[in-house]
Amino acid sequence: MGIDVLLVGYFLKSEWADPTVTDTHHAIQQSPFKSAPRKDTDVVECQIPGEFSGKSKYVSLAEFRNELDKVDENKIFYERGSDRIDVTYRAGPDSGDLSMPVGFGGLNGWQFNPDEEGVDTVDSRIDSLVELVTNIATTTEPDVGLLMLFNDHGSGDAMLDSHEPSQHGLDALPFLLVLSQPWIEYCGGRDHVLEAPVYDVSELETGHILCQVKQRPSVNGCRYMHGFDHLFGAQ
């Protein structure tokens, strides 16, 4: 059996309000990813509630939000050229194992391999995903969030277990990590986090800090020890 390496991104928050779906959708629309295929309207392509056949349908964003209350979670599909991602929205924090208002995936590890795709294509894809994560984080103001390539035969120790910093469950860093103020304090304070020995660290307008651990994600799966002790080693 082959190894699947898949894009995994999600944001955790203890609670959220009704506008999260609408606000997040419009934030994504401001990134290079657009709702497929009718990019200039509030008609979205989404998974059919209650069905897992891979089919989709086109409804208004308002109708999608109403349906979400009935099924707890559902997906809208977004495209950037040939790239296609699915964004999972949850109706409330009681849905699923984690308190996750928004999560996304849909791309594969080979799409981040410069030898297969070319350096410019991969770097453009990464820049678009960083912008996507920034827009979602700025809109939803999560407690914490991440983006990584996950090897389904590998370790999940770069996956978050909780929105509570003391229960993070991390033993390594993902490719992108978004930290709110409580997490920043847990990791040693703002100045300390901004000095993390990773590829890039930036402050968002909400006060969150976004850490990009490497220039490009590891195509066989992301789990990075470099920088981990700086952020979590003292805990």
Model pLDDT for residues 16-71, shown as the tens digit of each residue: 888 899 999 999 999 999 987 666 678 899 987 665 556 788 889 999 998 888 88
Averaged pLDDT, 140-163: 90
Give the separation between CA 184 and CA 191, rounded to whole angstroms.
9
Residue 61 and residue 22 in contact, taking contact as beta carbons nearer than 8 Å: yes
The pLDDT, as a whole number, for residue 39 is 61
> So what's the pLDDT on residue 13?
95
Q: What residue ranges in 109-175 does DSSP mark as E strands?
A: 144-151
How many other CB atoms are there within 10 angstroms of residue 14's CB atom? 11
Question: d(Cα 19, Cα 65) in Å, to the nearest integer?
Answer: 9
pLDDT for position 41: 72
pLDDT band at 72 (very low <50, low <70, confident <90, very high): confident
Give the per-residue pLDDT at 50: 61
Query: pLDDT (tens digit, 9 = 90+) per residue, 89-116?
Result: 998 887 777 899 999 999 999 999 999 9
**pLDDT over 70 at 197, yes or no:** yes
pLDDT band (50, 70, 90) for residue 1: very low
Task: Kindly state the average pLDDT of the residues 171-200.
Answer: 97
Mean pLDDT value across residues 158-181: 95
Q: Which H or E run includes 5?
A: strand 5-12
Ordered by start, the domain boundaries in the chain are: 5-232
